[in-house]
Structure 1
Amino acid sequence: MIVLLAILAATCASPIVQTSPPLVSLDQVHQAPSCDDLHGCRSLWDIIRSCIITIFLCVWVSVHPNIPSPDESWPRVAIRRVGLMLATVFVPELMVAWALRQRLAAAKLARKHKGEGWTTTHGFFAIMGGFMEYDGNRPVRVLLSNQLESYSLTGNGDFPRIAKAEIEDRSKGDALSKTLVVLQTGWFVTQCIARGVQGLPVTELELVTVAFATLNFAMYLLWWDKPLSVSCGVRVYKKRQTEQPDEDVDGQVADPVGFWAALGDAVSKKLPAAIVRGPFTHGESDLHDKPWLVRVLMWPLSKVFYIFNEEIDNSMRVATFYSGAEVTDSERDDFSAAAAGLATALVFGAIHCTGWSFTFPSSAERTLWRVASISIMAIPALLTIVAFAGEALGCGILAPMIGFLTISLYILSRLVLLLLPFLSLRSLPPAAYHVVHWTPLIPHV
């Protein structure tokens, strides 16, 4: 709602004149009092529209979620997808680290089951919960990546065999659609680079969009072989121990829990209990043995991650951020994921820092932008140091408190970098409305 109000305020505060005087030359673009030519200018709405569409492609379409439970209601699936979108907006480093962990695990599964005709796509499909064990018509459990081989060796069932084309047919996106998204975001980045080459101003909103487009390239590269938005896995039937079918089992699938029923249960039962106990109980978090104040301060962030990672309905789906860690070298892959997250933070923050000398409506907004840009670069590295130091030295309450303060500062910095670009639209320099002239950029005689 805050973002929408900021967009509305910026739109109302910066009207575009509809008259059409002669187009100014590139040499005079910075001295022009306004940009009024319909063919050589763009409107404020053109800037907002292109940025919003590109950001949407980067934080919604490019995210490849795991497969939901077969009896899960659509509101819960939608809420989880929105949560992944918000995670991409606020903690893009974690999303890249998650994608890398899945990529490493999928590649290892493909090599391990190469004799079965498996590819990296098969590995991704297994990691995202694509193989569901059924007893008759009743789902029993999702088969994790490390359970597939033992499942056939113990005689419970046959090793799942499915063609790559069948998996891709379940995907909501193919190579062509992914290529179009990459081209769309690439074209946006190219336009911003061309504006810099010609000396035309790049707005803060466009700079933020370039940062998300760069993130989109990394995520698409790591998830290129992962099926997109698969809603139903492959049935793997459990071998019956007797020839007599179980009539109480066949044909019965658990009814999904309604959204409002689940919300009412959480408000009437779980919330009061959480307030009394601190919050946190055994199994929800490793913070249950921490002091009460630490649990209360860390609850907003830790509870969100617990909801996303909980295994519901007796392991009927993999956790939201499940990455198949049990099939990979955990220490080496943890280091690789941490390195990828830090690299993403540095690149993401460095792109924002390029707006250091941009024109802002006020000096306070310019200072906020600079501080926030440096913060999102430095805080992930600081958190990594604090985590290793806390584990090695046993700092007790000190490490969680430092972690809470730094995470709070990081979230605040991300909010600043999301709101300031929209607020700055109320006072753009006249040259920001000029479009790129491509003729000088194209090699010609």
Structure 2
Amino acid sequence: MNASHANGTQFHTWRPEPQVRGTFSILSSCLLTMVLCVWTAVHLNIPEYGKLTAQVWRKLGWVMISLLAPELVLLTAYYQYTDAMELGRLMRENLKNKPRPSILQRSYRTLAKCARVICCRPLRPVPNNEGPIKTIYPWTDAHSLYAAMGGFVIDTKGRQSYLPKGMTRATIGMAGIKFIAQYAPELLATIPESEIQDKSKANVFIKDVACSQAL
């Protein structure tokens, strides 16, 4: 409704939004939300050295596959997870580590960690009575998944290389990782879990919301 005065000035009152949405607005908003959720939820392997641009195209391809055939992505993630857990079992046996904690133990640790973060209580340092800090760290699920994602590489710079010309780094596949885990596991257990977690850009809350929205 417009109100007019004698001097010709017009005043406009509040008007409600339209009650009907068009087909294009419904489809475009749903498609955009789904693409963003899938883009956030999909995690690819660590890109090879010097191939960051190719990684973007690979992720676009996996996003399209996730939209058209999500069960294929789920199956791929399942097989990668089982390979990582098998590697973890092999590494713990060869490193003489404790067995993998149960689901209840892992849940308790996660809740305790969240409670410490909420209460802003710093973690108490663990006393070290064994002298110098050891370079061999306990093997965790984070190490297994990191290895399955292609986190371990061979650097041949400055050494005799059997790699193609101009290539100085090569990612170690799961077969190579399992071979090293069987004969020289101490070569892999030189990275603390905190360092792997520090490189992670994943936010658990955002991932859970994105996966729920996509479902």
TM-score by length of 1: 0.30
**Counterpart-to-counterpart distance in 2, 1:98 and 1:169:** 25
Residue-by-residue CA offset, 1:49-68 (whole Å, 9 max, x unaligned): 54133211333221111122
Q: Residue type of the partner of 1:166?
A: E
Residue 55 of structure 2 corresponds to 77
Q: Indicate conservation of the 8 Å contact 2:87/2:178, yes or no.
A: no
Quick check: 1:67–1:128 contact (8 Å CA) kept in 2? yes
CA offset at residue 122 of structure 1?
1.8
Query: For residue 91 of structure 2, what is the aligned residue in structure 1?
Result: 113
Match of 1:83, as an amino acid? G
Q: Cα 1:38–1:73, aligned 2, differ >3 Å: closer, same or farther?
A: closer
1:110 is displaced (CA, Å) by 2.5
Deviations 1:179-233 (A, max 9, x none): 34245x1xxxxxxxxxxxxxxxxxxxxxxxxxxx22xxxxxxxxxxxxxxxxxxx
Alpha carbons of 1:93 and 1:179: their partners in 2 closer, same or farther (altered >3 Å)? closer
Instruction: Name which of 87, 90, 109 aligns with 2:65.
Output: 87
CA–CA distance in structure 1, aligned partners of residues 182 and 17 of structure 2: 70
| Secondary structure, aligned partner of 2:154 | strand
Contact 2:147/2:174, CA 8 A, preserved across alignment:
yes
Q: Which runs of 4+ in 1 moved over 6 A?
A: none
Classify the secondary structure of the residue corresponding to 2:187.
Answer: coil
The CA distance in 2 between the partners of 1:152 and 1:179, in whole Å, is 33
Q: Residues 73 and 174 of structure 1: is their aligned pair in 2 closer, same or farther, counting only changes over 3 Å?
A: closer
Aligned residue in 2 for 1:62: 41
Q: Provide the rounded CA distance (Å) in 2 between the counterparts of 1:156 and 1:180.
A: 37
Q: 1:113 to 1:42 in 2, by over 3 A?
A: farther
Number of residue pairs matched? 150
Match of 2:170 in 1: 141
Alignment of 1:38 onto 2:38: no
The residue that corresponds to 1:371 in the other structure is none
Specify every segment of 5 or more residues in structure 2 that has no aligned partner in the other structure, as ranges: 1-13, 98-136, 159-166
Q: Which of 26, 29, 34 matches 1:47?
A: 26
Whole-Å separation in 1 of the counterparts to 2:64 and 2:178: 36
Given the alignment of the two structures, is residue 168 of structure 1 paired with residue 146 of structure 2, yes or no? no
Query: What does the per-residue CA deviation read over 1:312-333, in whole Å, with 9 as the maximum and x for residues that have no partner?
Result: xxxxxxxxxxxxxxxxxxxxxx
Q: Which moved more, 1:65-74 or 1:131-140?
A: 131-140
Which letter maps to 1:135?
T
Q: Deviations over 1:314-359 (max 9, x none)?
A: xxxxxxxxxxxxxxxxxxxxxxxxxxxxxxxxxxxxxxxxxxxxxx
Corresponding residue for residue 158 of structure 1: 187
User: Following the alignment from structure 1 to structure 2, what is the Cα–Cα distance between the partners of residues 155 and 92?
Assistant: 38
Do residues 104 (structure 1) and 125 (structure 2) align? no
Q: Is the 8 A contact 2:38 2:211 kept in 1?
A: no
Give the match for residue 206 of structure 2.
177
- The one-letter amino acid paired with 2:38 is V
Identity across matched positions, percent: 26
Where structure 1 has 5 or more consecutive residues not aligned to the other structure, the ranges are 1-18, 21-36, 186-212, 215-445
Contact 2:148 2:174 in 1 (8 A): yes
User: What is the aligned partner in structure 1 of residue 124 from structure 2?
Assistant: none
Return the alpha-carbon distance in structure 2 between the equivalents of residues 99 and 156 of structure 1: 25
Residue 71 of structure 1: how far off its partner (Å): 2.4
Higher helix proportion: 1
In 2, distance between residues paired with 1:177 and 1:54? Answer: 14
TM-score by length of 2: 0.57
What is the CA distance between 1:84 and its match in structure 2?
Answer: 1.0
Q: Which SS does the other structure have where 2:63 is aligned?
A: helix
**Structure 1 residue 101, shift from structure 2 partner:** 0.7
| Paired letter, 1:125 | Y
Alpha-carbon distance change, 155 to 161 in structure 1, aligned in 2, over 3 angstroms: closer
Evaluate the alpha carbon distance shift between residue 122 and residue 155 of structure 1 in structure 2; reply closer, same or farther with a 3 A threshold: closer
Amino acid in the other structure paired with 1:170:
K
Give the distance between the partners of 1:182 and 1:59, measured in 2 at CA. 8
After superposition, the CA RMSD in angstroms is 3.2
State how far apart, in whole Å, the 2-side matches of 1:182 and 1:169 are. Answer: 23
Instruction: Give the counterpart letter for 1:91 in structure 2.
Output: A
- Cα deviation, residue 129, structure 1: 0.5
